[in-house]
Structure 1
Amino acid sequence: MLEQLLIFTRGGLILWTCKELGNALKGSPIDTLIRSCLLEERSGAASYNYDAPGAAYTLKWTFHNELGLVFVAVYQRILHLLYVDDLLAMVKQEFSQIYDPKRMSYSDFDETFRQLKKEAEARAEDLKRSKQVVGKSLNNSKKQGHMQKAGFEGVTNNKSSESNSSNDSEDGDDRKGRKLENGHSNGNYVHNEESKFNGRANGRENGSSNAGAFDVNKLQKLRAKGGKKTEPAVSKGSKAEPKKKITKKNRVWDDSPPQAKLDFTDSVGENGDNIEVVAADHGESMMDKEEIFSSESEGEEDEEVGKDSKPETKKKGWFSSMFQSIAGKANLEKSDLEPALRALKDRLMTKNVAEEIAEKLCESVAASLEGKKLASFTRISSTVQAAMEEALVRILTPRRSIDILRDVHAAKEQGKPYVVVFVGVNGVGKSTNLAKVAYWLLQHQVSVMMAACDTFRSGAVEQLRTHARRLQIPIFEKGYEKDPAIVAKEAIQEATHNGSDVVLVDTAGRMQDNEPLMRALSKLIYLNNPDLVLFVGEALVGNDAVDQLSKFNQKLADLSPSPNPRLIDGILLTKFDTIDDKVGAALSMVYISGAPVMFVGCGQSYTDLKKLNVKSIVKTLLK
């Protein structure tokens, strides 16, 4: 049964809902659809599954892009209604004829919808019956075919038995024995074929020179001759150029006495004093510097889209596209958009965007442009380019506040520290970028404490201790082989007692498929309830970014004992200075998780941390 059907504008104004259905939806499926699909450029999908306590809905939708209308149908997922797509198409066609932008009430559409619903249900029922009839006819034809085959085999068996009986009388018991061994009704034919085959095989094995057979003896003689010719050459070469024995030279050691101390990172004396502060010499963090971006439009972008497309497509559509740009086109069709979308997809993939995400983005842009009227003196490629740029800006722009300093002061007013947990796979630079974030917070007069919760990797505690000594901030550590969740909890208690404003929790690197470590991470997040869960990822990854983030979120959701598990809140993108223009990992990570990029690491010093410039990223992706 259909639960609800709504018609609303892209601005969010509801124009009509079905009063007959009038079912109270559990949860907020429409709001979730708008946030998760329509605003995140996932509208190219066929449907959306909404899960809530006691509710499991399937939502399907369609657009009228020229009028700016959205049509959404909601029904129970278990029902699998076949007429919903047909009903949405008919409702879209009928409602667009009576739509008036100045009109707010459409109560007269109730009767029209009732008739359309009956018609769609009747079509679906007829289609179901026709499929059943076709299925029955196919089954009957199969049965008849089996019966005919069985009857034909019976006739052939009788004929073969008669022929075999006559042959048995002529050839005697020897022929009967061959027939029984072959197991076929036409034993004479099979026996002759097998005898021919066996004769050829025997001839090859015995090396006999039968007519039409290959003589193996000749091949063996040729091989033997070839081996005799090559052997002396090899032996001559070995005698002429004997291998020289390589002897290892003796190592010459320096007579100077060894240095008393090789660990230059440890600047603390035996009594724990004399701490050397190095952080003050690094200067201002790049987080507080505004990046200048030139928003000048480049006229060559449209030409590049045409260059990326295939030559035959360009030759075929040049005159028609020029004519459409001058005269305008009534309505854009999917076939008109495909060449430009194909070029954009290839361009995004060359910039390290995952193929799956590039495909979904193009589908979403096609869904938002299909049916729109092309303005005069406007090319299709430029229209598609503008729509893609708008979609990328909407995806990369954070949908919530990412001002950590404001959140830190809000937590301080409540008398508790602001807790940030750094998670990610192995070797992405979690500890180094944690130190960069600590340095940036120190410049804003925020007291920071580090928590060494990487109790798995050897040297992790010493690495974080080195950063803490250089930055002259406290560190909470309990050594190795301890429960990281308990270590983090004790660190937060210590920070509350000492009055620290922020606790930065360093965790062990783990692959997304390592269930024991993912279970330990889920326990740490559940037990301590941090204010921010930062996923540290490399800017070098492409398709692997989708797998990492999706599985991290999935494991955190599955392994958490809470009904409302905490997922990844933000992204810290590292090694951004090594990728040149391959900035697609930022788009892939944001698209797959919905979390914003809060920090970008772009170097090895403490100051090399900055914000993500959305306009710069979009321009780089599309140039």
Structure 2
Amino acid sequence: MLEQLLIFTRGGLILWTCKELGKALKGSPIDTLIRSCLLEERSGEVSFNYEAYTLKWTFHNDLGLVFVAVYQRILHLLYVDDLLSMVKESFSEIYDPKRMSYDDFDETFRQLRMEAEARGEELRKVKQVGKVVSSVKKQGQVSKSGLDGGNKSGGGGSKKDVGDGDKDKDKVGSFMTNGNHKMEDDDSDKTNGKENTADNVVLDPSKLMKLRSKGVRGRGGVRKTDSIGNKSSKVAAAEPPKKATKKNRVWDDAAPKQVKLDFTDSVGENGNGNHDHVDIAAADQGESMMDKEEVFSSDDESEDDDDEPRSDEKKPEAKKKGWFSSVFQSITGKANLERTDLKPALKALKERLMTKNVAEEIAEKLCESVEASLEGKKLASFTRISSTVQGAMENALIRILTPRRSIDIMRDVHAAKEQRRPYVVVFVGVNGVGKSTNLAKVAYWLQQHKVSVMMAACDTFRSGAVEQLRTHARRLQIPIFEKGYEKDPAVVAKEAIQEATRNGSDVVLVDTAGRMQDNEPLMRALSKLINLNKPDLVLFVGEALVGNDAVDQLSKFNQKLSDLSNSGTTRLIDGILLTKFDTIDDKVGAALSMVYISGAPVMFVGCGQSYTDLKKLNVKAIVKTLLK
């Protein structure tokens, strides 16, 4: 049964809702649909699930209206799409932008619903009859094949059939014979319980070296004989010069004192352990790029692009492919845009996004959403379809990359300080993306704002991780909490937060081990750390170099954190820190893919090797780069 049907404008004004459809909806499915689907440019999808409900919708883009139907998720209502189409057509005939109430539409909707339900019932019966007929046909084919097989086996077959059967027997016999011979050969070649085949030969390393010195190459190679000038024997006789070998280190307390392995303490030039050389490093770094406003004028650059031709000649090539192939069109004879009109421009736009490193799945969904928002819309006179599509895509990209909620770290830090507790940030991500380095950049930025910071070395898995973070802490003169390796990172983080509370530190930056999204034990440990300590911010550190893998990484991280959560409230990724942004040129699509798949904003962008190379994401610059 249909639970609810609403008609509202794109501005959020509810024009009509059915009063006789069931009870009030539980929760807020309509609000969730608007926030998570329509505003996030996912309107090209077929349906949206919210708790126990399924929502379907359609647009009237020319009038700016949205029609949404809500029904129970366990029901499979076949008439909803047809009902939405009929309601859209009927309501658009009586719609007046000046009217606020449409009580006269109740009777019309009642008739439309009865008609749609009748069609749905007929469609359901037709499907059931089709299933019965198909099952009967299958049973008939099975019985027929069984009857034919019985006749052939009963001796009623022709000589041709018997002959074919004999041939088949001969083939089977020969196959078995060949198989037996092969098995006997394999048994004869077995040595020490292993097959002595070309792929399973195991030679002693010393014997293998002797064979190579004599000129014998493994795996069916050619052996050099003495007939070729006795070169192989001479080479074998000549001894190669001995290489300097590394002395084995004796790990024993009783062994003589050897060279120290931990070089992080001996930073003084004279070996006295002074930190004078390190202390001045943080002071000489300068102002962080986070506090510098990046100037970007989209109007000026767009004018320059129109006046001056591009050196790479991509624009003329796009003309040939159809991106600007549509000439200025008048709407004479064409009232509204159709899908066939939008397909060429959207196809070219999808290819353009993919060349900028946007994941294929994301580019496809974005084009579907733009198509849904433009279908049926009137095209202004002497306006190109390509420019209309590009304008719609530009607005969509700005909406996606602009954060849905404001995350002001400095404001939240001072709010936590008033509550006499530290502000906790956890850095997560896959291996080798630069979590520790960018954690130090964030610490340096916080230091410039007179915020006391403490680092927590919770990467107890990777060798050298604690020493790496300790080096950053000494360079920045920041206290670090560490417990060594092979400890529970969740417990280490909890003790670090307790220590920061006693010492009065304002922020705790928690470094975690890099892990692949499919590593179940490490993902379980990360989920435990987050659920136990409940940090204020969970930052996903990802590379700007990745393309399709960005979707897989973030979606699986969120999925694992949701599945492995023990508490009632699921904690997911709150923000993104994009690293190595200075190495990608115009391939900035990873930022769009990550934000689209997770809904979390890009809060920091790493763009260099020094502590100051951390900045904010310039949304206008990213959109400009994606569409140029």
Matched, 1:99 2:109: no
Question: What is the alpha-carbon root mean square deviation over aligned residues?
Answer: 3.3
- Residue type at the aligned position of 1:95: F
- Tell me the SS of whatever aligns to 1:276: helix
Task: Indicate which of 283, 286, 311 corresponds to 1:283.
Answer: 286
- Confirm or deny: 8 A CA contact 1:306 1:340 kept in the other structure: no
Partner of 1:600: 605
Structure with more helix by fraction: 1
Is 1:186 paired with 2:191? no
SS at match of 1:465: helix
Give the Cα separation in 1 of the matches to 2:316 and 2:80. 38
- 1:410-439: per-residue Cα shift (whole Å, max 9, x none)? 111222111111111111111110000000
- Cα pair 1:451 1:504 within 8 Å, conserved: yes
- 1:277 to partner: Cα distance: 3.6
Pairwise CA distance, 1:234: 8.4
Q: Does 1:48 align with 2:48?
A: yes
Equivalent pair of 2:264/2:467 in contact (CA under 8 Å):
no
Could you say what secondary structure the match of 2:327 adopts?
Answer: helix
Q: What's the TM-score, normalizing by structure 1?
A: 0.82
Residue 240 of structure 2 is matched in structure 1 by 247
3-state SS in 2 of match to 1:420:
strand
**Structure 2 stretches lacking a partner, 5+ long:** 178-221, 247-257
- Partner Cα separation in structure 2 for residue 487 and residue 155 of structure 1: 77
Query: What is the letter of the counterpart of residue 57 of structure 1?
Result: Y
Counterparts in 2 of 1:80 and 1:195: CA distance versus 1, 3 Å: closer
The alpha-carbon deviation at position 133 of structure 1 amounts to 3.0
| 1:93 to 1:419, Cα distance in 2 relative to 1, 3 A | same
Indicate the residue corresponding to 1:372 in structure 2: 377
Cα separation, 2, equivalents of 1:514 and 1:617: 32
Listed one character per residue, the Cα deviations across residues 175-234 of structure 1 (whole Å, up to 9, x for unaligned) are: xxxxxxxxxx224653388579969x99xx9xxxxxxxxxxxxxxxxxxxxxxxxxx998
On the 8 A contact 1:573/1:601 being kept in 2, the answer is yes
Alpha carbons 1:329, 1:375 under 8 Å: kept: no
Of 308, 314, 333, the residue aligned with 2:318 is: 308
Alignment pair present for 1:294 and 2:297? yes
Asked if 2 retains the 8 angstrom alpha-carbon contact of 1:309 and 1:339, the reply is: no
Q: Partners of 1:583 and 1:445 in 2: how far apart?
A: 33
| 8 Å CA contact retained: 1:395, 1:591 | yes
The code of the aligned residue for 2:544 comes to A
Specify the alignment match of 2:251 in structure 1: none
CA distance in 2, matches of 1:559, 1:568: 14
How far apart are residue 150 of structure 1 and its match? 7.3
The alignment of Structure 1 onto Structure 2 pairs a total of residues equal to: 558
8 A contact 2:434–2:541 mirrored in 1:
yes
Amino acid in structure 1 at the alignment position of 2:618: N
Whole-angstrom CA distance in 2 between matches of 1:88 and 1:518: 43
SS in 2 for 1:519: helix
Aligned to 2:388: 383
**CA displacement, residues 5-35 of structure 1 (integer Å, 9 cap, x when unaligned):** 1000000000000000152111111111001
Structure 2 letter corresponding to 1:38: L
Letter in 2 for 1:74: V
Which letter does structure 2 place at the counterpart of 1:94? Answer: S
Kept after mapping to 1: 8 A contact 2:398/2:620: yes
Question: What are the residue-to-residue correspondences of 1:350-361 with 2, within 5 Å?
Answer: 350-361=355-366
What secondary structure does 2:329 align onto?
helix
Which residue pairs with 1:591 in the alignment? 596
Distance 1:352 1:77 in 2: 36
1:159-170 matches, cutoff 5 A: 161=156
Give the residue type in structure 2 aligned to 1:287. Answer: M
- Judged with a 3 Å threshold, the aligned counterparts in structure 2 of structure 1 residues 91 and 437 are, in CA distance, closer, same or farther, namely same
2:13 paired with 1:13: yes
What corresponds to 1:172 in structure 2? none
2:59 is paired with a residue of what secondary structure?
strand
Structure 1, unmatched stretches of 5+, are 162-184, 206-231
Q: How does 1:205-604 map to 2 (within 5 A)?
A: 238-239=228-229, 242=232, 244=235, 247-248=240-241, 263=263, 266-267=266-267, 276-296=279-299, 297=302, 298-299=305-306, 307-308=317-318, 311=321, 321-322=326-327, 324-325=329-330, 327=332, 329-604=334-609
Native 8 Å contact 2:266 2:272 kept in 1: no
1:84 equivalent to 2:75? Answer no
The alpha-carbon deviation at position 489 of structure 1 amounts to 1.3
> Is contact 2:18-2:106 (8 Å) kept?
yes
What is the letter of the counterpart of residue 239 of structure 1? G
Identify the residue that residue 182 of structure 1 maps to in structure 2. Answer: none
Q: Normalising by the residue count of structure 2, what TM-score does the alignment of the two structures yield?
A: 0.82
Q: CA deviation at 1:500?
A: 1.0
CA distance in 2, matches of 1:515, 1:197: 52
Q: Is the CA contact 1:328–1:378 (under 8 Å) kept in the aligned structure 2?
A: no
Change beyond 3 A, Cα 1:149–1:510: closer
Q: Could you say what secondary structure the match of 2:390 adopts?
A: helix
Q: Contact 2:42–2:366 (CA<8 Å) still a contact in 1? A: yes
Contact between 1:417 and 1:492, CA under 8 Å: does it hold in 2?
Answer: yes
- Deviation string 1:473-511 (CA, Å, 9 cap, x unpaired) is 111111112211111111111111111111111111111
SS at structure 2 position matched to 1:580: coil
What's 1:114 paired with? 110
Match of 1:175 in 2: none
How far 1:132 moved relative to its partner? Answer: 2.7
Q: Which amino acid aligns with 2:279?
A: E
Look up the match of 1:61: 57
- Secondary structure of the residue aligned to 1:118 is helix
The secondary structure found in structure 1 opposite 2:7 is strand
Deviations 1:490-549 (A, max 9, x none): 111111111111111111111111121111111111111111110011111111111111
Q: 1:58 aligns to what SS in structure 2? A: strand
Report the CA distance between 1:143 and its aligned residue. 5.6
Larger Rg: 1
**Whole-angstrom CA distance in 2 between matches of 1:147 and 1:469:** 82
Partner amino acid, structure 1, of 2:241? K
Amino acid at match of 2:335: A
Other-structure match for 1:215: none
- Matching residue's letter, 2:570: P
Q: 2:70 and 2:416 mapped to 1: Cα distance?
A: 40
CA contact (8 A) 1:305 1:344 kept: no
Give secondary structure in 1 for the equivalent of 2:75. coil
Cα offsets for 1:314-361 (capped at 9, x unmatched): 8xx95xx43624758411111111111111111111111111101000
Q: 1:194 to 1:453 in 2, by over 3 A?
A: same
What residue is the counterpart of 1:168 in the other structure? none
| Residue 566 of structure 1, CA deviation | 1.1
* Matches of 1:291 and 1:549, distance apart in 2: 28
The one-character-per-residue Cα deviations of 1:440-487 (angstroms, maximum 9, x if unpaired) are 011111111111111111111111111111101111111112211111
Partner Cα separation in structure 1 for residue 453 and residue 621 of structure 2: 32
The Cα of 1:131 is off from its aligned counterpart by 2.5
Farther off after superposition, 106-115 or 494-503: 494-503
CA displacement at 1:272 relative to structure 2: 8.4
Secondary structure in 2 matching 1:278: helix
User: Could you tell me how far 1:382 is from its partner in structure 2?
Assistant: 0.5
- Structure 1 residues 148, 333: CA separation in 2 closer, same or farther (over 3 Å shift)? same
**1:552-571 Cα shifts (integer Å, max 9, x gaps):** 11111111111111111000
Question: What letter is aligned with 1:351?
Answer: K
> Which SS does the other structure have where 1:4 is aligned?
strand
